[in-house]
Amino acid sequence: MSRKTKIVSLLLSACCIVPLAGAVVAQKIKPVTGTATLKQTEKGVLIHAMFQNVPPGWHAMHIHEVGKCDPPDFKTAGGHFNPTHKMHGYMNPTGAHAGDLPNVYADASGKVDVEVLAPDVTLEPGPNSLLDNDGSALVLHEKADDYTTNPAGNAGKRIGCAVIH
């Protein structure tokens, strides 16, 4: 298996780095910014996310089905990446969406630095590939995922979005 690495970035653009736009959160002057590196491993895709200007506390981070991040609400990213048509949430007895990820924590200064494994997706060709024709997106939400409520864990508005392609 080849080891592919993709970097997605908030408000940056260059070779192998794609824009991750940040919404201006209420009472905040600066948009969410940062980078996420996606690396194919034998057990899935390892995501290393480093974000700034995130409201302190817990936030849902999900992989969404369309590689489009039009502000201000990023709804163009579609729903969660879910090629197996499962229900939402780690606590769902029928299994979670492939794009469901653990919640991430922003410290008091608004920084997130976390690694999470997405075991049900790949950067290789196939039905669970994040690199299909329309790409996919990494989305940060305003609240934590409750891991049960369909379709998005009651996680609130989308406050950051990065195209994966």
| pLDDT grade for 4, boundaries at 50, 70 and 90 | low
Q: Output the CA angle 53-69-110, nearest 5 degrees.
A: 10
pTM over the 0.85 mark = no
Check residue 3 and give its pLDDT.
Answer: 53
Instruction: Please give the span between the terminal C-alpha atoms of the chain, in angstroms, as a whole number.
Output: 19
User: Which one-letter amino acid corresponds to residue 41?
Assistant: T
The set of residues, in sequence order, having a beta carbon less than 8 Å from that of 126 and lying 6+ positions away, is none
| pLDDT grade for 142, boundaries at 50, 70 and 90 | very high
Check residue 27 and give its pLDDT.
Answer: 39
pLDDT at 15 over 70: no
| pLDDT grade for 28, boundaries at 50, 70 and 90 | very low
Domains present along the chain, CATH in parentheses: 5-164 (2.60.40.200)
Question: For residues 129 and 8, which has the higher predicted lDDT (pLDDT)?
Answer: 129
Question: For residues 110 and 97, which has the higher predicted lDDT (pLDDT)?
Answer: 110
The HSE-up count of residue 82 (CA atoms within 13 Å, CB side) is 17
pLDDT at 36 over 90: no
d(CA 133, CA 151): 23
Mean pLDDT, the chain, rounded, equals 81
The set of residues, in sequence order, having a beta carbon less than 8 Å from that of 156 and lying 6+ positions away, is 60, 141, 142, 143
Q: Among residues of the chain, what percentage have pLDDT more than 70?
A: 79
Taking the CA atoms of the chain, what radius of gyration do you get in angstroms?
14
| pLDDT grade for 153, boundaries at 50, 70 and 90 | low
> What are 79-104's pLDDT values in tens digits?
999 888 887 777 877 778 888 899 99
Please check whether residue 86 is in contact with residue 92, taking contact to mean a CB–CB distance below 8 angstroms: yes
